[in-house]
């Protein structure tokens, strides 16, 4: 058999049709319904005299009707066994009471058994062999009945003898009926498989959508955590330095203390403003008074804040011609800003350095523009100031999200170096 036919007949398919949990509660009423239909058809045939020559005892006739209908109770659980049993019952009934097998009720019961075996067989290769074997048995019995018992009807026409006409009608009727039963079984099996695959795909899509939603939520949480860390770390670091300076000069230099306290006030207000801007993203509606996201243009003010707190910071910008700084997207500007903010906050918290340098560079590499920032200091690690490392983690996450690279570590002579390069364009 060719592959196309095997696929059409579902013989080469390994999918197993799931069995209903309480199949007997479904099939017992179906079997009873077919018993009622077969019995009603038998009595209808008897009423019009179609069974007038049938000498079989009435109780045996109904036994021949009940037996194949009873097998339909297990048509889903044991479809091939039920089909084979009904076929055997049909052949035996045909031998013992041939007229009864001509009634539509008995014929429909057999067709339903063939349909059930095709639609519910779990092993398609074995199912094909069993159903095909049952059809061959039926064909052999029909051929035997026509050959041995002969044709007892009218003598035929001028062109076609009576026995040949009966043979043609019998063959066509059985091919149409049995072929239709097999075709319906195959179509139902294929349709159920298609629905099952669609349901599985729908569940998979829902699960993937939920995973993506959870990833988006986690990514947003990480982003907010990074922003909060950067904002709080910067301003609290500045406030701490200025508070210490104010405490030291409060008695002897009141003017310097007032300047330090003013710096604390400015830093606290800036921290509140930035935190409001950040937390506003968690609200459902827009916040018209929200401060803009910091970027490259705000680096000067950021560095001035650190200079005010007592850290000497040298700042330089190296750009190309034409300038590329103006073409950098806001996401790159924010990442550069947060990198400088975190690096200078780390200098104040964890280093003995009193001087740092910040250089931003813009250029092109591999046909892509890039923005780079490098922060250097000349101090040594201060003891007892160990941190959580979340700032560096956030720095790497920002760069990774933009396809950039990060270099962080001690310098060969003294101090610490942070370099971040971010491509854009």
Q: What is the pLDDT of residues 246-272, one digit of tens each?
A: 777 777 888 877 777 887 777 777 777
Please give the pLDDT value at position 288.
47
The better pLDDT of the pair 346, 9 is held by: 346
Degrees, nearest 5: CA angle 95-98-99: 165
Q: pLDDT digit string (tens) for 118-152?
A: 988 888 888 888 999 998 988 888 777 777 665 55
Please give the pLDDT value at position 66.
95
Provide mean pLDDT across the span 333-346. 90
- Torsion of Cα atoms, 364 then 365 then 366 then 369, to 10°: -40
Please give the pLDDT value at position 391.
77
Please give the pLDDT value at position 310.
79
Provide mean pLDDT across the span 89-106. 88
Please give the pLDDT value at position 127.
86
Pair of tokens at residue 76: 């889903």
Report how far residue 4's alpha carbon sits from residue 50's, in angstroms, rounded to the nearest whole number: 45
With cut-offs at 50, 70 and 90, classify the pLDDT of residue 97.
confident
The better pLDDT of the pair 313, 172 is held by: 313
Peptide bond into 34 cis (omega under 30): no
For 315, left (φ over 0), alpha (ψ -120 to 50), or beta? beta
Segments making up each domain of the chain, as ranges: 3-150, 297-425
The better pLDDT of the pair 155, 67 is held by: 67
Q: pLDDT digit string (tens) for 346-405?
A: 888 888 888 999 999 999 887 889 999 999 998 888 876 666 677 788 888 889 889 999
Identify the three-state secondary structure at position 315: strand
Give me the CATH code for the 297-425 domain, please.
3.30.565.10
Identify the three-state secondary structure at position 360: strand
The better pLDDT of the pair 69, 273 is held by: 69
The better pLDDT of the pair 55, 86 is held by: 86
């Amino acid at each position: 058999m060719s592959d196309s036919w095997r696929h059409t007949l579902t013989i080469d398919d390994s999918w197993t049709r799931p069995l209903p949990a309480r199949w007997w509660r479904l099939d017992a009423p179906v079997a009873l319904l077919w018993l009622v239909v077969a019995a009603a058809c038998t009595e209808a045939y008897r009423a019009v005299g179609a069974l007038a020559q049938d000498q079989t005892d009435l109780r045996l006739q109904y036994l021949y009707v009940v037996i194949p209908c009873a097998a339909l109770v297990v048509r889903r659980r044991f479809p091939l066994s039920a089909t084979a049993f009904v076929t055997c019952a049909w052949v035996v009934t045909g031998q013992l009471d041939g007229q009864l097998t001509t009634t539509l009720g008995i014929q429909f019961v057999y067709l339903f058994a063939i349909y059930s075996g095709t639609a519910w067989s779990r092993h398609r290769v074995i199912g094909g062999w069993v159903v095909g074997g049952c059809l061959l048995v039926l064909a052999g019995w029909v051929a035997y009945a026509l050959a041995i018992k002969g044709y007892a009807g009218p003598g035929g026409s001028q062109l076609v003898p009576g026995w040949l006409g009966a043979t043609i009608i019998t063959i066509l009727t059985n091919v149409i009926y049995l072929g239709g039963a097999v075709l319906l079984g195959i179509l139902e099996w294929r349709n159920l498989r298609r629905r099952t695959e669609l349901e599985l795909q729908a569940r998979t899509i829902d699960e993937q959508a939920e995973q993506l939603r959870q990833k988006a939520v986690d990514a947003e949480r990480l982003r907010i955590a990074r922003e909060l860390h950067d904002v709080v770390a910067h301003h609290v670091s500045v406030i701490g330095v200025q508070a210490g300076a104010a405490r030291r000069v409060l008695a002897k230099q009141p003017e310097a203390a007032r300047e330090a306290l003013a710096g604390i006030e400015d830093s606290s207000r800036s921290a509140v403003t930035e935190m409001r801007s950040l937390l506003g993203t968690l609200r459902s509606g827009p916040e018209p008074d929200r401060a803009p996201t910091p970027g490259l243009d705000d680096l000067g003010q950021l560095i001035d804040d650190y200079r005010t707190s007592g850290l000497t910071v040298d700042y330089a910008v190296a750009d190309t011609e034409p300038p590329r700084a103006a073409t950098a997207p806001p996401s790159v500007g924010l990442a550069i800003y947060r990198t400088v903010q975190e690096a200078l906050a780390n200098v104040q918290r964890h280093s003995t350095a009193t001087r740092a340098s910040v250089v931003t560079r813009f250029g092109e590499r591999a046909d892509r523009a890039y923005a780079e920032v490098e922060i250097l200091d000349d101090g040594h690690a201060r003891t007892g100031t160990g941190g959580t490392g979340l700032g560096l983690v956030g720095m790497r996450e920002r760069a990774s999200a933009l396809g950039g690279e990060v270099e962080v570590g001690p310098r060969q002579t003294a101090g610490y170096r942070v370099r971040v390069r971010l491509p854009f364009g």
